[in-house]
Every structure is written in C-alpha cells, then in structure tokens.
C-alpha cells in the first residue's frame, strides 16, 4: 500500500505537471497570437502614417513646391540623399560624345527688348527751356541740330466701332415696275443675323478660351466703353460659332489620327445640373498629334466611360500614348504606349518615405531623358540606333534597380514599382520607332488651358456649352501649339469660311494657314 500510495502520488503529480504544461503552452500561444496581432496593428498604423505623410507631402508640394518636374541633381546631392543610398544606385554617366547635340543659343536675360516696328509711332515734341537755347558764353542762340528720341510703350483702350453695311438698291425702269427693287445681299457669315461682326466675335472667343476671361467679366469690360452686351447674348454668339466651325473641328481630328502617333488624356470639368440644383462632373478629352504638324483636338463627354475614347479611335491603327486609365485597354490602336513622366511621379511620391532608393531611381530615369534631349535634332536613323542601344541598356538598369528590393505592400515605393513593372512593355515600346514619344507631356501641356479656364469660368452651362468649348479650344489650342496669333487666325477664318468650298477646308487648319504669314507668328517666350 505504501508503494502503491507512492505510485499514486507520483501519477497525480505527473498529471498536475502535464496540466500545467498544457496551460503554459496555451498561455504562450495566446501571447504569440497577441504579439502577432499587435505586430499587424503596428504595421497597419505604420502604413497609415506613411500614407498620411505622403498626402501631406503632396499637399505641401502643391502649395509651395516647384511646378517643374525637372530633376535637379545638385539639389539632391545637397540634401544628402545620394550619400545615404549606400551604393544602391550609381550616378548616371554622361551621354557619349558621339550623340549629336543641338547647340542652343544663349538667351539674353538682361536688357530691354526693342519695341516692335509694326506699332504706330506718335511723336511728342519735348521743347528745351528758353534759357537753355542761348549759349552761356556768347549769349547767342544755339543752332538746332535735331532730336534725341526715347520710345515708351503706351496703352490705348481697345477701339470699338460700328460697321455700317450700305447695300446698294436698284429699282426698275419705267414700264417694267413689276420687276421690283433689287438690294445687294449682305456678305455670308458664320453667325447669321448677328449684331456682332467677325472682329467682335473673335474678340469674345479669344478672350474666353485663350485669355480665360469669363463672359461676365467681358460684359463689365465693355461697359467701361459705354457698350452693354449681356453675357447671355455673347453665349449665343459662341454657340453659333461652335456650330459653324464644326467642320474644322472634325477635320482636325481626322488629321491627328492620320499622323499615326497620338497623345491622349482627359480632365474633369463641372457642368450645371439644373434638375439636381448643383453641378456634376463631366470630361474634356484631348488629342495631340505626335508626328507631323502640331494639332490639338478637344472633345466633350458627360462622363468618363470608355465610349468616348473608343468612338474617337474607332478604326485607328497607329500608336497611342496615354495614361493608365483602364478604358484604353479596349481602344482600337496598333501600339499602346505608357508615359515615363507618369511613372516618374509614382517614384517622386515615394521619395519622402524611401528617400535614398527613390532618388536613385529618379536619377536613372533622368538619364533616359538626357539621352532623349541629346538626340532631339538627330535623324530618324540615328535616333533609332541610339534608342536601341543606349536607351535599352538604361531601361534595363531602371527595371533591375526596381526589382532589387521588396517593399511593404501598399507603400508608395511598392505601388511605384508595381506600376512600372506591370507597364514594362508599354514603357519600353518608344524605343521601337524614332517617331514615338517617351512621355505624354504634349497632351498634358495642351490640357492646361482647361485647368486655367476652370479657375475662371468655373463650370459649363450645358452639354451644348461643352461642345462649343471643345470646338473653339481645338482651333485656339492648335494656334497655341503653332505659336500663331489666335485673334488674327480666327478673324480670317470667320471672314473666309462662309464662301470657302468644303474641299478647300484644309487651308484653314492652323499649320497650313500660317504658311506665308510670318507676321502672324508669335515670338517664342523665354
């Protein structure tokens, strides 16, 4: 019994230790689970903090940052970002000497520009004081030897005038009174039965869509000259002009698609929604020719559905440079290209969280642009050869660098890496053809006129107003792309279009119209 009791006590003790071990394991497991959950919460919080830091950096950059996207290598070196990279990215080498370089003349930053010769001169005689007309030594009159000219630019408010069309009238000879009276017809016009002549119509259109003056401001400006024309009346003029110029708008789209290389983008714009008592978001789509004469085309749609780009590119077989909007995946085109500036912005957003690595990637992308700058004036054959060798090698450097590290999912650098690697084929495709662009900056530059306009005229009044704006911005945007005096162009178009045969409409496209009119070419701004 003693032995049995001892054995029983040993068993009871063993069972207690086993239960304690089980309980201890359970506590350890619960603690591990708690630690894992806390670790997940910490990672989520870190991700939230990084996201908020990124949003704050974006807002600060919009408020106070530089607008240019050019990468200043010296500034990055001063910030110490390159020194902290621990050799993750090698500084880009200078382009080889054999790449043809365009010699750009140095612009004079200082000094006054001479006033244009075509401006009329109004002489103002400044007489010398009478006592200065006598020689102080002899007391005799000084001989007059001429003038010393000084030119100053004066502003005179715009001139309004009334054109009176006096139409000749002829009666019938005696005995043939039944033939009645003949009156000469008014010249044909784009806007029928309109109070405004072509110069006034041009002024209203250019002021709104080129100078971004809303109609209510134009109404007040005209009041200073004693003329009251309501904004509603001017809106009707613009609507009639848009309808009359629709043929040129359609022809511009045809010529852009025929170029074989098209930049495309879109931007939101608000439109009044009377039934809802507020505005709703609509879209402007912009297409820019990537080859041949520069042309710009705007189109309007009530939403961002893929029907708008599909309709525009129906039957198109050329190259399309665009952003990562999913609707482009179903657009007819021969080759789809992605934008390196767009990809670069993803990396730029990650610079606050991963400064060293992101800066290294930005430097390597900048090298791609230095190659493009160096071959800007090269022949197609030279450009293609350099792209197939140097650009392809540099693209491999960028892709290898992005794949050399893993980043936390949902982090800015992770998103940047996945965007670039997912679009690797489209981002590399520009090296296959010397005409293809490296980015979509041409469309983004042209679409700025909508962004500036939104800050001034705020919203569109109707769907018809959106179409009117698209037509007029197409012609004025093409003038801007060709550095053409928009007022001189549109005035001439409104004068000539009503009597021009439809098969001669091509001569009114801005690149064709400017030929032989050097006086209408605007100087390039520094």
Task: Note the pLDDT tens digit of each residue in 294-329.
Answer: 999 999 999 888 888 889 998 899 999 998 888 887
Higher local confidence (pLDDT), 361 or 60: 361
Contact present, 419 and 365 (Cβ < 8 Å): no
- Residue 119: pLDDT band with limits 50, 70, 90: confident
Banded pLDDT at 158 (limits 50, 70, 90): confident
Rounded CA-CA distance 103/373 in Å is: 11
Structural domain contains residue 244? yes
Domain count within the chain? 1
The answer as to whether 195 is a domain residue is yes
The pTM for the full model equals 0.77
What mean pLDDT comes out for the span 15-36? 80
Tens-digit pLDDT profile for residues 453-468 = 777 777 888 889 999 9
Count of residues in the chain:
526
Alpha-helical segments (H) within 259-333: 307-312
The pLDDT of residue 426: 93
- Residue 173, CA atoms < 13 Å, CB-side half-sphere: 0
φ/ψ of residue 278, rounded to 5: -155, -170
Is residue 167 packed enough to be buried (19+ CB in 10 Å), middle (13-18) or exposed (0-12)? exposed
Q: What is the pLDDT of residue 425?
A: 93
Structural domain contains residue 137: no
447 is written with which tokens?
């679409």
> Residue 440 domain-assigned?
no
Q: Write the burial class of residue 325 (CB in 10 Å: 0-12 exposed, 13-18 middle, 19+ buried).
A: middle
Torsion of CA 460, 462, 463, 465, to 10 degrees: -60
Give the whole-number percent of the chain exceeding pLDDT 90: 44
Ramachandran angles phi, psi of 47, nearest 5°: -65, -40
Sequence-distant (≥ 6) Cβ neighbours of residue 38 within 8 angstroms: none
Please report whether residue 175 resides in a domain: yes
Q: What is the pLDDT of residues 99-111, one digit of tens each?
A: 555 455 555 555 6
Q: Closest Cα to residue 51, out of 62, 40, 43?
A: 43
Alpha-carbon distances of 213 from 199, 208, 452, 458, 498, rounded to whole Å: 17, 4, 10, 11, 27
Q: What is the pLDDT of residue 89?
A: 44
Q: Is the pLDDT confidence value at 94 over 50?
A: no
pLDDT: which is higher, 288 or 185: 288
What 3-state DSSP class applies to 48?
Answer: helix
Look at residue 291 and tell me if it is in a domain. no
Query: Residue 95: its pLDDT value, please?
Result: 46
Q: Which residue range is the domain that position 191 belongs to?
A: 169-249+464-520
pLDDT grade, residue 506 (50/70/90)? very high
Please check whether residue 285 is in contact with residue 308, taking contact to mean a CB–CB distance below 8 angstroms. Answer: yes
Domain for residue 43, yes or no? no
Cβ 401 vs Cβ 285: under 8 Å: no
Q: How many CA atoms lie within 13 A of 135 on its CB side?
A: 8
In a domain, 385, yes or no: no
């Amino acid at each position: 019994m003693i032995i049995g009791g001892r054995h029983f006590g040993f068993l009871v003790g063993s069972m207690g230790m086993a239960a304690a071990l089980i309980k201890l394991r359970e506590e350890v497991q619960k603690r591990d689970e708690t630690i894992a959950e806390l670790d997940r919460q910490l990672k989520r919080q870190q991700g939230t903090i990084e996201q908020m830091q990124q949003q704050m950096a974006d807002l600060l950059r919009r408020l106070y940052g530089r607008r240019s996207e050019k990468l200043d290598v010296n500034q990055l070196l001063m910030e110490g970002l390159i020194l902290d990279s621990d050799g993750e990215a090698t500084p880009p080498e200078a382009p080889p000497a054999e790449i043809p370089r365009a010699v750009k003349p140095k612009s004079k930053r200082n000094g006054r520009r001479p006033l244009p010769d075509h401006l009329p001169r109004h002489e103002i005689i400044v007489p010398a004081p009478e006592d200065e007309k006598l020689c102080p030594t002899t007391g005799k009159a000084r001989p007059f030897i001429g003038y010393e000219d000084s030119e100053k630019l004066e502003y005179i408010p715009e001139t309004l005038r009334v054109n009176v069309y006096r139409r000749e009238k002829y009666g019938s000879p005696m005995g043939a009174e039944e033939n009645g009276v003949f009156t000469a017809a008014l010249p044909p016009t784009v806007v029928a039965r309109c109070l405004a002549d072509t110069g006034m119509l041009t002024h209203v259109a250019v002021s709104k869509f080129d100078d971004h003056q809303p109609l209510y401001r134009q109404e007040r400006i005209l009041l200073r000259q004693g003329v009251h024309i309501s904004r509603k009346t001017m809106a009707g003029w613009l609507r009639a002009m848009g309808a009359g110029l629709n043929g040129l708008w359609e022809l511009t789209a045809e010529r852009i698609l025929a170029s074989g290389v098209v930049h495309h983008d879109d931007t939101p714009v608000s439109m009044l929604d009377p039934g809802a008592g507020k505005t709703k978001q609509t879209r402007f789509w912009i297409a820019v020719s990537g080859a041949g004469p520069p042309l710009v085309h705007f189109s309007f749609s009530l939403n961002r559905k893929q029907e708008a780009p599909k309709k525009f590119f129906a039957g198109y077989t050329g190259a399309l440079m665009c952003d990562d909007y999913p609707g482009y995946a179903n657009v007819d085109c021969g080759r789809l290209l992605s934008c390196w500036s767009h990809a670069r912005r993803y990396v730029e957003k990650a610079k606050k969280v991963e400064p060293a690595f992101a800066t290294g990637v930005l430097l390597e992308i900048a090298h791609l642009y230095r190659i493009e700058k160096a071959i800007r004036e090269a022949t197609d054959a030279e450009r293609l050869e350099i792209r197939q060798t140097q650009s392809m090698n540099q693209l491999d450097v960028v892709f290898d660098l992005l794949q050399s590290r893993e980043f936390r999912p949902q982090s800015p650098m992770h998103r940047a890496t996945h965007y670039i690697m997912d679009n690797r084929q489209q981002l590399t495709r520009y090296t296959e053809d010397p005409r293809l662009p490296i980015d979509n900056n041409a469309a983004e530059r042209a679409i700025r006129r909508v962004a500036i306009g939104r800050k001034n005229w705020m919203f569109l009044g109707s769907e018809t107003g959106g179409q009117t704006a698209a037509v007029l911005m197409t012609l004025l945007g093409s003038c801007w792309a060709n550095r053409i005096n928009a007022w001189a162009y549109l005035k001439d178009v409104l004068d000539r279009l009503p009597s021009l045969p439809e098969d001669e409409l091509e001569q009114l496209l801005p690149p064709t119209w400017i030929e032989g009119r050097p006086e209408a070419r605007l100087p390039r701004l520094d």
